[in-house]
């Protein structure tokens, strides 16, 4: 406890880095997964291809991705961009299916009604399907957020600064307190992400809090 208090400045700084490395990919990944999920939901022939491909991406070990990306992107091994890109890949891998599922979850008669009222396909996506898919997408985002927070810590093995540093450093120095501080800090950060996503989802879906008649 005293160790944590003595190093609070360092912990907060690395927590900030960690939040950035895990959070920015969450947003980027969502932006990419939305059109992909939409395609997967609308085009039966593309669906299997998209969902299998994106699903496979998630099986690439993170360390391999952190090491493979620099030559592909022309970045230095220590460049945090590698982590951002890798985490975005994982987020897309998780969210494409979620977005497709969310769009599928929209009631058929609601969609038929929207079509019959003369919504074009993009307008319908924006005004009807997407808002109704928010609860499902938010659930997927929560999983992706926790997954990102945990995977980002691996990047300390290639020397990227974030909370994972306390795990590798504590292990190297055989100093369990530091390892525990790293674990707890990661947990708290994941909780914060979870909370933010839940709050935003609630604000976006006032209709889900009504009591059925």
Residues at the contact surface with another protein, assessed by CB under 8 A: 107, 109-110, 112-120, 128, 131-132, 205-207, 210-213
How many DSSP H helices and E strands does the chain contain? 10, 0
Across the chain, the runs of DSSP E, i.e. the strands, are: none
C-alpha torsion sign, points 182, 186, 192, 193: positive
C-beta of 126: minimal distance to another protein in Å?
12
The token duo for 10 is 């360092």
C-beta of 22: minimal distance to another protein in Å?
29
| C-beta closer to another protein: residue 2 or 109 | 109
| C-beta closer to another protein: residue 3 or 119 | 119
The token duo for 191 is 């909780």
| C-beta closer to another protein: residue 128 or 145 | 128
C-beta of 130: minimal distance to another protein in Å?
10
| C-beta closer to another protein: residue 114 or 141 | 114
| C-beta closer to another protein: residue 114 or 144 | 114
C-beta of 196: minimal distance to another protein in Å?
21
The token duo for 213 is 């008649």
User: For 123, how many CA atoms within 13 A lie in the half-sphere containing its CB?
Assistant: 7
Beta-carbon neighbour count of residue 125 at 10 Å?
Answer: 20
C-beta of 212: minimal distance to another protein in Å?
5
Dist CA 80 CA 134 (whole Å): 30
């Amino acid at each position: 406890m005293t160790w944590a208090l003595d190093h609070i400045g360092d912990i907060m700084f690395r927590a900030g880095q960690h939040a950035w490395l895990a959070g920015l990919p969450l947003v980027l990944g969502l932006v990419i997964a939305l059109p992909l999920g939409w395609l997967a939901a609308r085009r039966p022939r593309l669906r299997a291809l998209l969902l299998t491909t994106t699903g496979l991406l998630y099986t690439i070990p993170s360390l391999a991705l952190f090491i493979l990306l620099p030559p592909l992107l022309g970045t230095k091994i220590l460049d945090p961009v590698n982590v951002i890109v890798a985490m975005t890949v994982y987020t897309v891998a998780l969210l494409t299916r979620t977005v497709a599922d969310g769009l599928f979850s929209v009631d058929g008669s609601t969609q038929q009604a929207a079509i019959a009222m003369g919504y074009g396909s993009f307008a319908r996506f924006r005004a009807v399907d997407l808002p109704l898919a928010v609860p499902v997408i938010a659930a997927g985002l929560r999983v992706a957020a926790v997954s990102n927070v945990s995977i980002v810590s691996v990047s300390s093995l290639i020397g990227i600064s974030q909370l994972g540093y306390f795990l590798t450093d504590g292990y190297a120095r055989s100093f369990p307190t530091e390892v525990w501080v790293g674990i707890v800090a990661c947990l708290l950060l994941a909780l914060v992400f979870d909370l933010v996503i839940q709050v935003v989802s609630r604000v976006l879906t006032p209709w889900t809090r009504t009591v059925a008649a």
